[in-house]
Structure 1
Amino acid sequence: MPNTAHSALFTTLFDDAALFPPGNAPMDSAVRAHEALLGREDTVELVGPFVCRSARIPELVGALAGLTPPPDGFFLSLVARGGRDELLAALAAADAPPLVVGAVELANPDTAAAVAALDELLPKEAAGFVELPWRSLEAGLDALAASTSPDGLRAKFRTGGTDASAFPTEAQLAGAIAGAVRRGLAFKCTAGLHHAVRRADPETGFEHHGFLNVILATAAALDDPSDTAAVAAALAERDPQAVAERIRALDGPRAAAVRGRFTSFGTCSIDEPVCDLVDLGLLALAME
């Protein structure tokens, strides 16, 4: 079971993006692996929704039909592109039991149009995210802050990809986190957060942000969202033990406040980041 002292920090932190690069898992195996994680007592609390592009929803429904027994509900984070019409079509495709749309992640270079589409069409119980282009981050955050959705909308920050240019700098990500906190917005991250602590990938040389660094950066932004240097410093820390000690120092209310802003991140591997937590002594569970 998760270490009870820190479980609030890691509950549903890991959105299952097994279908996405670099994992690119086949649909059938991704669905079976997701259900297996949800069926394990030591991982069920850690795993968020299954992330799937709208174009692959029929394939997902077919894979779920092949499970024995089929799940009563399968929580989905629906990724769609475009504006109102594209979102309407995506939601119609996802209106297929046992799918339950728990979140919608909309990517559109026109952030205002994405916000308007979600304000109109977002399912009542779903969280709405808009992926913000780095080149117009401040305007995007302002558009999200002006949302009329009852529970507000959330930002989505892309933190990696298949080439070096897809990885934001420490200063860029610090500005995004601080900007979200300053406006009272929650956010998730996607891509690149394969490990707990900041590191250079030994094969590609790409500089990867660590998801524990993002937690600490969020805590720093909650302390003072105007101090982006402190937020960036938290993102820059590379010493795993130093990061782990700072994570241990986050008490229950502090952990809840951080997760109220940094809601989750998409990862193509659940085992990889969770094993990092086990190695750092932050979770007491045995990954198979």
Structure 2
Amino acid sequence: MTLTSGAVADRPAEPGLFAGLVDDAAVFPPGNAPLADAVRLHRLHRTSAYAACVGPLLVPAASADDLVALLAAATEPDPLRVAVIGRPGTPVEEVVSAVQTLRRAPRAVVVGAEIGWSPDWREAALDVPLSLEVPRGATQSGALADIAADASDSDLLQAKFRTGATPTWAWPDEAELAAFIRGAVDHDLGFKLTGGLHHAVRGNHAGEEQHGLLNVLTAVRWALNGEEADELTPLLAERDPAELVSHVTRMSAADAAIVRAFFTTYGCCAVTDPITELTSLGLIEGP
């Protein structure tokens, strides 16, 4: 990222805006880290100067047994906070089995699970905080309404939307992401994002368009102010770091709290990428 004149903040943003925001998706594409390396590096993240920004380690359901073996052989006494991931199409039974397996492991703490949304998602009967990855297109609104019907403060349930491209998922542009954010807020529904949010500011990175973390935070704040999707779209398209830094540093502690009540977290395969850029912009304090 190239910082423009005036981009560096004159004060850090509210710490709550970034607290626990970046889930560690090191083992997922495009990072594809071996599980043992991901566990080792995650423990370093959790003891670093930026530890407050880092969420749990995301683990594919298929890797649950491997993680149990790694933890059994580990010398570190601290438990590992993990969330079990089943991409859309992964059998729900596989995710349920992985959660049960890790719950029996003495050094693992399961803090959530993620599965693809389907009309029969309730049959999963998972009693951990659950993120449901919603489809795109005409069925998305119905999926959000369906999730919202069961969501409450005591039963942690949220939507999930993919912001990065995969071989089977074309990159959603700013208008599509704006529509998702508007839809989630309209349903009073928290959400997480996944894929593609490696950078603080929207731009073309390594030949690919990618959304920016500050763009999303700003768009969510405006959505909570009542702005419609077509008014959120330019915010998600904004490429000037100075403009976005200004928006973010104007958020109060109360603003940050309500933004994060909706945009709860996102998965990133290299958690230091966005954190390094946020530090360079002066939005979080460096070591």
TM-score (ref. length: structure 2): 0.89
Paired residue type of 2:164: G
Aligned residue runs from structure 1 range 42-191, under 5 A: 42-71=49-78, 73-81=79-87, 82=90, 84-95=92-103, 96-108=105-117, 111-114=118-121, 116-118=122-124, 121-123=125-127, 126-135=128-137, 136-147=139-150, 150-163=154-167, 165-191=169-195
C-alpha contact (below 8 Å) 1:158/1:166 kept by paired residues? no
Residue 247 of structure 1 pairs with residue 285 of structure 2: no
Is this contact kept in 1: 2:24–2:54, CA < 8 A? Answer: yes
Change (3 A) 1:232 1:148: closer
The amino acid of 2:246's aligned partner reads E
Q: Secondary structure at the match of 1:55?
A: helix
Q: Deviations over 1:95-120 (max 9, x none)?
A: 22211111111125xx2212x135xx
What SS does structure 2 have at the residue aligned with 1:263?
Answer: strand
For 2:58 and 2:197, locate their aligned partners in 1 and report how far apart those are by CA, in whole Å: 15
Contact kept in structure 2, 1:8 and 1:255, CA below 8 Å: yes
1:83 Cα offset (Å):
5.6
- Shift of the 160–84 alpha-carbon distance from structure 1 to 2, 3 Å rule, reads closer
Cα deviation 1:63-115 (Å, max 9, x = unaligned): 223332232x211111125465334323222222211111111125xx2212x
TM-score of the pair, normalised by structure 1: 0.89
Equivalenced residues, count: 272
Q: Name structure 2 gaps, 5 residues minimum.
A: 1-10
Identity %: 38
Distance 1:143 1:74, change over 3 A: same
Give the secondary-structure state (helix, strand or coil) at the position aligned to 1:15: strand
Q: Please state how far the C-alpha of 1:165 moved relative to its aligned partner.
A: 4.9
Q: Do the aligned partners of 1:199 and 1:210 also contact (CA within 8 Å) in 2?
A: yes
Of residues 215, 219, 224, the one that matches 2:221 is 219
Indicate the RMSD between aligned Cα atoms, in angstroms.
Answer: 1.9
4+ runs of 1 displaced by more than 6 Å?
none
CA contact (8 A) 2:198 2:268 kept: yes
Deviations 1:33-75 (A, max 9, x none): 10111122x122111011011100111122223332232x211
